[in-house]
Amino acid sequence: MFNVEIISPQGLIFQGQCLMTVVPSLVGDIGVMQGHEAFLAQLREGKILVYNEVNEVVQDISIKTGTAEIHDGERLLVLVD
pTM: predicted TM-score of the whole model, two decimal places: 0.93
List residues bridging with 60 in a β-sheet.
49
The rounded distance, in Å, linking the Cα atoms of 69 and 25 is 11
User: Mind listing the pLDDT tens digit of every residue in the chain (81 residues)?
Assistant: 999 999 999 999 999 999 999 999 999 999 999 999 999 999 999 999 999 999 999 999 999 999 999 988 889 999 998
CA atoms of 27 and 69, how far apart (whole Å)? 15
- In the chain the domains, ranked by start, together with CATH numbers, are 2-80 (2.60.15.10)
